[in-house]
Every structure is written in structure tokens, then in C-alpha cells.
Amino acid sequence: MSESVTVSWWRDSASELGIKMMDKLIAPDAGWEELLATGRRDVQLALDATNMKTGSDRTVLDLGCGMGRLSFALADHFGEVLGIDVSPSLIAEGERHNDRSNVSFECGDGLGIKPQTITEFDSVFSFEVLYLLRPEILRPNLQDVYNILKPGGELVFEMNVVPFSWKTRLSMQFRNCLYALGIKEWRGWPNAPGFRRYPHTIESLSRMLKEIGFQIDRIIADNPKQSWFVATKP
């Protein structure tokens, strides 16, 4: 499986926007504590929405962890946290700030999810990441997630399932043109290919998860821009 444009951009282009904007769209001059506060807020929102299983006896993989914004927040709810990301720069930043004994990081290759330091997980968590992958890239990655989950293990992820309108497609083409001209941002949002979302639907994702072998426990779709999926490995 060859890597996608999204993966190659996130791996190689930290200097384009700065590592903080690559991890979360906040001010580039934001302090580390401000970044961590956004992580605690988002993890709490996820816990409230999904009733994700937590506990000091559980190990969780933070998939697409960036510099650990959410990994450090997850460490308050899990016994051990491994963050994995394709960007060496973001992983290095997370490691530089890591003062938690139950948090570690790995840099992945973007071609699959095969952690080296921990090989089995009770939970896999992903936030604002998976909709950046084309379906043909997403499916093998979800298969890898299934393989590394323990029996009864839980996959919890967030996905933007808003259908693409003609305005969305036109906006994407416009941003592609701006990016080609060297204009990196427009109206506060990056034009880079790494920020392109792909059209996924609740139906297509549910079918994909079931075909892989997951049992879908619940889907929380009150907000289509931030729908949550909770699936279990039987």
C-alpha cells in the first residue's frame, strides 16, 4: 500500500504551518498549558458523548496523536497511553514535553498501525484524524486497529460525516489553487493537502467496520460534523 498525499504532507511539512497549528488550530504563540487545556476539554467531551470505558487497568492507543494534546489528557483516565503519529516533528515535541510516566510515543509510517512498544490495547481512540484518510487507506488502518485490540477491546473515534455539497467541492478546488500559488492559509484555515477531508457516511463506515469484524455498539450523530463511533472487537 502506497502512502497518501495526506500522510506525506503530515510527515514532512511541519515547518509550513508550525507544529502547534498542525496539532490543533490555535494561535502559534499559544503556551503549552493552553494546548493541554484544549486536550482536556476535548477528551472530556468525548467521554461524555461516548461513555468510553476507562480505568487504571486499561491501555489506550491515541491514533494520530500529534504532539500528545489528547494523549496527556487520556493519561488521567487510563493506566497506560501510547500516542502514534506519522509526523516526526510532532512526536519529538510530545516527547520533549513528556513528564508523565504512563505516556509514550511512537512515529508510524502511515502505511499501517503496528505499534512496537505495546502490541495489545484495551482501547483505541482517535479524534479529528480519520476523515483525513481516503476510504481505501482508512480500511486497512481500521483492520490494523482490529488486530491490535484485545478481545472485548473498544474502538472510539470521531468522524465528520457531513455530505459534500457543491459549495464544499468548489471551496476545495479554490484552496488547491491558493496552495499552488503559495498561499498557505485562507480565512484562518490551512490550504494544505493534509487538511483535506474525504467524504465518509455513517452507512459506509458502519459497513466497513462490520466487514472487518467489529460489533458497532453505538453511533452518536447529534452533530454530523462531529459524529462518534464506538465499536468493539468480539
1, pLDDT greater than 50: no
- In this structure, CATH architecture of domain 5-162+198-232: 3-Layer(aba) Sandwich (3.40)
> pLDDT value at position 48?
97
State how far the Cα of 115 lies from the Cα of 108, in Å rounded to an integer: 8
The phi-psi region of residue 201 (left if phi > 0; otherwise alpha if psi is between -120 and 50; otherwise beta) is beta
pLDDT in tens, 95-126: 999 999 999 999 988 778 999 999 999 999 99
Whole-number Cα distances in Å, 113 to 77, 120, 219: 23, 12, 23
- Domain borders along the chain are 5-162+198-232
Chain segment 20-29, per-residue pLDDT in tens: 555 555 666 7
Per-residue pLDDT tens digits for 22-48:
555 566 677 889 889 999 999 999 999
Q: Which pLDDT value is given to residue 98? A: 98
The cell numbers describing 224, all together, are 454530523
User: What is the distance between the alpha carbons of residues 230 and 157, in angstroms, rounded to a whole number?
Assistant: 7
Q: What is the pLDDT of residue 197?
A: 74
Residue 149, strand partner residues: 121
Pair 233, 153: CB distance under 8 Å: yes
**For the segment 191-213, what is each residue's pLDDT rounded down to a tens digit?**
666 667 777 899 999 999 999 99
Q: At what angle do helices 135-148 and 202-212 cross, to 10 degrees?
A: 40
3-state DSSP assignment of residue 105: strand
